[in-house]
Amino acid sequence: PPNPECPPGTILENGTCKLIQQIDTVCPSGFVEEGNRCVQYLPANKICPPGFNLSGQQCMAPESAELESTCPPNSIFENGKCKVIKNIDMVCPPGYTDSGDDCVLYVAPAKECPPNFILQGLQCIQTSSAPTQPVCPPGTVLQDNACI
């Protein structure tokens, strides 16, 4: 049987050529990719304790008070901002299959026969043969394509 051969950039696995491509990452609108997560930064709501008034970045009262920051649900306060974290959606190009960490495209392997053979169906058939040599009867010899 012919030896299967895969196109450049692919690998043969279980009789199938496998092309592996990085998964494109897509974050929802308004989010940015940070590592393997999608992150959205929102301004924190500035809240002063009861009896204090917000003035710029401070709560003003007879004595100064700490400014508290609250964030919407499903977010955390980090570096003065509210941080919303979502998982990255993995999107494979058309025709590719998501295999968890990679996008995989399966293609049929090309069949290739050794030199002087041609592929017929699933078999390699020899296309050239050695020239035939006449066989002389016992007691004679071949000379100039004649038995004497």
Closest CA to 45 of 77, 18, 88: 77
Averaged confidence pLDDT in the chain: 70
Asked, for residue 132, whether it belongs to a domain, the answer is no
Q: Residue 8: give the domain boundaries.
A: 3-110
Q: How confident is the model at residue 45 (pLDDT cuts 50, 70, 90)?
A: low
Residue at 87 is within a domain? yes
Give a yes or no: residue 99 inside a domain. yes
Q: What is the rounded average pLDDT of the residues 20-41?
A: 74
Whether residue 122 lies inside any domain: the answer is: no
Is-contact 78 42, C-beta < 8 A? no
Q: What pLDDT is attached to residue 58?
A: 65
145 domain residue, yes or no: no
Per-residue model confidence (pLDDT) at position 92: 74
Q: How many CB atoms lie within 10 A of CB 23?
A: 19
122-137: pLDDT as tens digits = 677 766 554 556 678 8
Question: Is residue 92 a contact partner of residue 22, using CB atoms and an 8 Å limit?
Answer: no
* 90, 25 contact by CB (below 8 A): yes
Query: Is residue 68 domain-resident?
Result: yes
Residue 63 backbone phi and psi in degrees, to 5: -125, 150
Domains held by the chain: number: 1
Dihedral, 18, 22, 27, 28 alpha carbons, nearest 10: -30
What is the predicted pLDDT for the residue at 64?
Answer: 47
Q: How many residues does the chain have?
A: 148
- Residue 120 belongs to some domain of the structure: no
Report yes or no: 73 and 42 within 8 Å, Cβ to Cβ: no
Q: Is 133 a member of any domain?
A: no
